[in-house]
Amino acid sequence: MKALKPLLALGALLMLFGCNEQAQSTTDNQPAAPVTLDATQIAPDTFANPLMRNGADPWLHYYDGNYYLTTTTWTSQLVMRKSPTLAGLADAPAHYIWSGDDPSRCCNFWAFEFHPLQRPEGLRWYVIVTAGIKENFGGQRNVILESAGTDPMGPYMYKGTPMPDHWNIDGSYFEHGNDLYFIWSEWHGDDQVNLISKMTNPWTLEGSRNVITKPEYDWEISGLRVNEGPEIITHNNKTFLVHSASFCNTEDYKLAVVELTGQDPLQPESWHKYPEPFFSKGNGVYGPGHHGFFTSPDGTEDWLVYHGNSSPSDGCSGTRAARAQPFTWTADGLPNFGEPDADKKQIPVPSGEQGPLKAMVQGVKVKIRHSDSQQCLSRDASGNSVLTACTNADNWVVDPANDGFYRLANAKDGTFVTEQQCAKAGTDVTSSDWVSSNCQRFSLDPARDGLFRITNTHSLNVLQACNSNEVAAAPNAFASCANWNFEPVSTLAMVNANSGRVVSVASCETSGTAKAEDNVEQYEYTASACQQWQATPTDQGYMTLASVANPQVCLAVNGVSDGKVDIADNLVVAPCNEPDSQWRVEYLPNGAQRLVSRAYGLAMKVENESIKNGDNLIQEVWKDTIYQHFYLREIPAK
């Protein structure tokens, strides 16, 4: 039975979830009423756990104006959610940022983490996922992915499997001095232990692999002898490894703390484990563990994210819910996690969430062009929203902000388009600090062709510039002076919302270039120019999408236009001046986009509705399926 222990200890009982290749879709614990300060405020000043049901193994970052959350899926897809508010993560759309079809690392994904690391080319995010094999959904290994740029949403490229020869899970990073270390968990005999090794890069180990924690105390051996989920936190020049202890299928899963007291983290004697757990069941929350740490938007608070059950009879399954709560530090410099906060207890939101704050929101940069004047939206020196020549205009990020709405973030100064006094009759529009207000959220409503109306969530006024270069908000939604279009200026990838794979010129992967009539397919991101595109506006909100591998050819239907409309016509690259080479981008309520051909009015789609490399791309009648949903993601300039 020993061979089964790695699977039992971390969820072989969950293998019924299978290898799905399609989307699936500390004192007072008495509840208190949430407080809302302003009728236009997006979310109250408090929230309640659980953050999200079926939220096992949560990992959370606040970064550049958004919270980002991942949780275990038990499928072949990595899911990330984002929201400008912590409570909003519960209803935030699931973004499939990567998927697996390689049999050696395709299935039954657990315990995603994503870490920002500085690399020679700049900051990159590294996702660590515990992935199983197709044969039996077991045999888990740590797998590393790297982002194309600074956006946690990717796209992501497979970089490696640090230890492909044996079962290993729950990988994480530890930066110490000038070195990068990898920490993880595996079985040694009857003990599941945590280990450490130095890294030459974020996906390659070097040198010895040493055990630094193992089960020692009675409270670490409930169900099975388990140490897992090691995570590092530092405070006032002290470094702590916090790990989960005991079997996750028991109510006694909990957190232990180990302090780095020596100089060399590779040496077991450099680590001191405290003899009592630091976080255990309480207040109706059972098995609290598999955690991470994040800081509040203003950087003043430390927060714990973890999963826990609401019943002692629940175990290692989808009953585990993601939860978050702040923690403090003792006078001795130790983390004070307290007790789990009870379900439905109102907790103040992380400090700074309600603003005011500036945020350099991640995403594709666009010009926002006014249809009548052909000038573009900018912020003047006083913060007013005005029109100016597009060559000198500000760039913006069109950022999904929950409930089907968007916010328009200034990429130069981190402010947001705001209808002042949107709860009243005010019409002034500025670009202001984020204050978590519905005066700063808008729906992007199709007008005609590729043009949009920008409608405030609260007032239902639309942004317009009718008689001057000043932008106002007013109710005459159907005037031509209320029409806008969004023109991407970033090099971008088009990522399918189901597979996480990107729109690619097929033969370009081997030839290194793109030529007219080459087929277009989905393929996992490899940083190839064959997967990168540059938009050029034409008229009426339409654009061409030129291949970076050969700017003379663009995404097209058919190739050379034949004037015929085929409902399921093939996509290729063709000369950019072909009528079939123009597209419009529509922003959907779930944060995705649909790409519609100008010649036919049909939408791009993954033909066979799979996550597989090489699945063909076609145009088809819009059916609002995930196979027709795409994300535009920024690729940084080299």
Residues assigned a catalytic role: 57, 228
Dist. CA 226–CA 243, nearest whole Å: 10
Among residues 72, 188, 195, the alpha carbon closest in space to that of 130 is found at 72
Token pair for residue 215? 């089960």
Could you tell me the CA-to-CA distances from 486 to 9, 516, 539, 632 in Å, in that order? Answer: 50, 27, 11, 12
Burial 332-370 (b: 16+ CB within 10 A, else e): eeebebbbbbbbebbbebbebbbbebbbebbbbbbbbbb
Task: Report the distance separating Cα 527 and Cα 550, nearest Å.
Answer: 15
CB 154 within 8 A of CB 203: no
Strand-strand pairing, 583-587 and 571-575 = unpaired
Separation CA 545–CA 555 (nearest Å): 6
**Edge-to-edge strands, sheet with 227-235:** 227-235, 238-245, 254-260, 271-273
Cα–Cα distance between 519 and 402 in angstroms, integer?
36
Q: Are 420 and 441 in contact (CB under 8 A)?
A: no
Contact 95, 82 (CB under 8 A): yes
Map tokens 């270039």 to a residue: 513
Q: Which two tokens stand for residue 325?
A: 């709560």
Q: What stretch of H or E contains 142?
A: strand 141-147
**Length in residues, the chain:** 638
Pairing outcome for strands 191-201 and 122-132: unpaired
Helices (H), strands (E): how many in the chain? 2, 46
CA 145 vs. chain centroid, Å, equals 13
Select from 83, 128, 122 the least CA-distant residue to 105: 128
Whole-number CA gyration radius for the chain: 25
Supply angle C-alpha 410, 548, 444, rounded to 5.
35
Helix (H, G, I), strand (E, B) or coil at 438: helix
d(CA 158, CA 224): 33
385 near 379, Cβ under 8 Å? Answer: yes
Q: In DSSP terms, which residues pair with 514 in a beta bridge?
A: none
Write the DSSP symbol of residue 357. Answer: B
Q: Which residues contact 331 (CB under 8 A, 6 or more apart)?
A: none
CB 185 within 8 A of CB 163: no
Task: Count CB atoms within 10 A of the CB of residue 312.
Answer: 13
Q: What is the dihedral of CA 100, 105, 108, 111, to 10 degrees?
A: -100
